[in-house]
Chains A and B, each alone.
Chain A
Amino acid sequence: MLYRDALNLALDYAMEHDPRVVVLGEDVGFYGGNYKVTDGLYVKYGPKRVIDTPIAENSIVGTAIGMALMGLRPVAEIMTVNFAMLAMDQFVNQMAKLRYMSGGKLFLPLVVRMPQGVAKQLASQHSQSLEHFFASVPGLYVFCASDSISAYHGLLHAIRMDDPVVFLEHVLLYGMDFPFEYVKNFDPFKARILKEGKDITVVSYLKMVHDTLKACEWLEERDGISCEVIDLISLRPIDFETIYESVRKTHRLVVVYEAPKTLGLGAELSARVCEELFYYLDAPPLRIAGEEVPIPYNRKLELMAIPTPEKIYERILSWSKSHGL
């Protein structure tokens, strides 16, 4: 099933079974969504529940907050994470804090979903990964979907939750076809082990999961290095236990992500593993991440700015060699 269809299916299911669920955002209705995630919902549920908004991101999130306060379960779409920057007050000062500041009197059953990441030659105002912005804010939940199963079940779970969730998708995944199945009791807070292995624990999320899997296949086939690949679905909170358990087994940690390396998720994960499992480690953790630059338009430069399966393979191979594997 296409990733975008899985998201659409989750929205459709939620709207059909709960009249309180509404969808709002730029072009989500009549137009069908810029990435076609909301396609068909407008015809099925009408303009009152599939709400086209002006280009006013701060107020898209802001009105969704007001709707949630009154008992609706809004799913707001911000067209891309780049535009979410215009709504950071509503994300950080409002959505994340109203419950705490009210001493638990308010609650916000609200989801804001949006794509992020590097697609093809969109240049820096349309290509970036900002998950660490959101994942650093107490009061928010931050989910990522790397395939159709986590897209469908993760989004459905987020809609059913009574807390505010930032739901991150990846631009390049929308058109990708993944195997799909209905999973009973899907738990988005539990990291998934996508591939078992014994030598290195490799943690990733969103699109980088697939590039990592490819690199790890090569490592196993060509070099006999066995990697355990972990897909984080939730970035706040992070399922550290699954990571720790794996590192206790492999004694090595690699984190792969598309955002610039500095202050990204890799810094957090490797620091935690050093704090908790220092004496289990046979090598210093390795971060494979984006370069410290805005993403350029030129395709060659663009690919230089982010990890690719080839780069992930090379980096892990040379790192493991220099650390006695």
Chain B
Amino acid sequence: MSQTLAEKFYYLMKLGREFEIRCKEEYLKGNISGFLHLAIGEEAVHVGAVVGFGKGDLFCPYREHVLALARGIDPKLIMAELFGKATGVSKGKGGSMHLYEPKMDFYGGNAIVAAHLPHAVGAAYARKLMGEKAGVLCIFGDGATNNGTFFEAINMANLWEVPVLFLCENNYYAIGTHVSRSSALKDIYLKARDYMPAEVVDGMDVFAVYEAVVRAKQYIEEYGKPYFIEAHTYRFEGHSMADKGDYRSPRELEMFRKRDPIDLLLKKAYKEGWLTEEQVRLIDQKVEAVVEGAVEFALSSPEPSEEELYTDLYCGVCSDVIP
């Protein structure tokens, strides 16, 4: 079990990492534009959470490429979306912050901090009302927990007893403001602890995130109630491509780079004998091919047609979109 998991985690984390390194290159070449928020350094939270949660609805913030990849959305369609092409997962109308695939229960991608928290609560309410047991996973950053919508959402989730797993990825910075300068409570899980079970997990350890999320999911689905996890992680890049991240000291960066989640995973996997160097080499080759294929697909894809400016505003009757 741990062996297959280790392989899966390594593939998805490496895919996320290489995909985003390539995004950065393509951004500098001018193929990708707009705001581009990379999750380099945060792969363990994204992959551990999505794999651990398994089936169920996902509501994500704007830093969601790796979350979308981990959910299984085709990297080609994600890259094409970043290129703004017609073949993109949102037809080139959403971009980096707006990836959606309802067929895979993936509901974004949201560019407004904390705005998707009530969506997750409403979705969980709906699932429960319709007699489904499936819980909802709602991921957001530490910055979101200082917004009023966060408190509205955890209050409603508790009050209405809905199965939502709130997962805060605390990377210590709300854009450029350190958590100690933006949050009166520095231990973020304490903000939720009076409303629901809340715990802290090492967000650099994919196994730790995975195990916590599996346990939390069992809880929310068994009791039909919310749960809160704070995962400590770090982004190695700036907030977006527009941010050099120089509000952080080289020493701090170095300290966290020593805890690179992919290195930590490999170290553990080698030690336990879950992965061999040969396997890793093969996965790396596969990742390289997938990322290259995604860029080629995006480059060769057509621009949206001019009519697309006016489509998808209203649907009239669209009940056939989702079964």
Contact = CB atoms under 8 A, between A and B. Distances in A.
Nearest to A61: B118
Contacts of A90: 115, 118
Contacts of A98: 100, 108
A94 interface: yes
Interface in A98-117: 98-107, 109
Interface in A121-176: 138-139, 141, 162-163
A94 B112 contact: yes
Nearest to B101: A105
A59 B153 contact: yes
A100 B90 CA distance: 9
B118 A63 contact: yes
Nearest to B304: A103
Given A54-B156, A58-B149, A162-B318, A93 B112 contact: yes
25 contacts: A22-B129, A54-B152, A54-B156, A58-B149, A59-B117, A59-B149, A62-B115, A62-B118, A62-B119, A66-B119, A66-B123, A67-B125, A69-B123, A69-B126, A70-B127, A90-B118, A93-B111, A93-B115, A101-B90, A101-B100, A102-B98, A103-B91, A104-B315, A109-B319, A138-B313
A109 B92 CA distance: 24
Contacts of A54: 152, 155-156, 159
B120 A66 contact: yes
A159 to B, nearest CB: 13
A205 B19 CA distance: 53
A72 interface: yes
Interface string A19-62: 00010000000000000000000000000110101101011011
A213 B166 CA distance: 54
Contacts of A49: 129
**5 closest residue pairs by CB, A with B:** A66-B122, A62-B118, A103-B91, A63-B122, A70-B126
A295 interface: no
Interface residues of A, number: 42
B154 to A, nearest CB: 10
A94 B155 CA distance: 21
A56 B114 CA distance: 14
A105 B90 contact: yes
Contacts, number: 154
A162 B126 contact: no
A93 to B, nearest CB: 5
Interface majority SS on B: helix, strand, loop or mixed?
Answer: loop
Contacts of B130: 70-72
Interface of A: 22, 48-49, 51, 53-54, 56, 58-59, 61-72, 74, 89-90, 93-94, 98-107, 109, 138-139, 141, 162-163
Interface in B86-127: 88-94, 98, 100-102, 107-112, 115, 117-127
B316 interface: yes
Interface of B: 57, 59, 88-94, 98, 100-102, 107-112, 115, 117-127, 129-130, 148-149, 152-153, 155-156, 159-160, 311-319, 321-322
A85 to B, nearest CB: 14
B191 to A, nearest CB: 16
Given A94-B119, A105-B90, A72 B126 contact: yes
A21 to B, nearest CB: 11
Of B112, B126, B155, which is in contact with the most chain A CB atoms at under 10 Å from its CB? Answer: B126
A65 B156 CA distance: 14
B221 to A, nearest CB: 16
Contacts of A71: 126, 130, 322
A139 to B, nearest CB: 6
Contacts of A63: 118-119, 121-122, 125, 156
Contact of A102 (B90, B119, B122, B153): B90
A105 B107 CA distance: 10
Nearest to B122: A66
A105 B102 contact: yes
Contacts of A62: 115, 117-119, 121-122, 149, 152-153
Given A62-B149, A65-B118, A104-B321, 11 more contacts: A66-B126, A67-B123, A69-B122, A72-B126, A72-B129, A93-B115, A98-B108, A105-B321, A138-B313, A163-B314, A163-B316
B100 A105 contact: yes
Contacts of B319: 109, 162
B63 to A, nearest CB: 16
Contacts of A104: 91, 311-312, 315, 318, 321
Contacts of B120: 66
Contacts of A105: 90, 100-102, 321
Contacts of B126: 66-67, 69-72
Contact of B124 (A66, A68, A101, A141): A66
Nearest to B92: A103
Contact of A163 (B107, B125, B315): B315
A5 B98 CA distance: 41
B156 A89 contact: no
A70 B321 contact: no
A103 B93 contact: yes
A91 to B, nearest CB: 11
Contacts of B115: 62, 89-90, 93-94
Contacts of A74: 122
Contacts of A138: 313
Contacts of A89: 112, 115
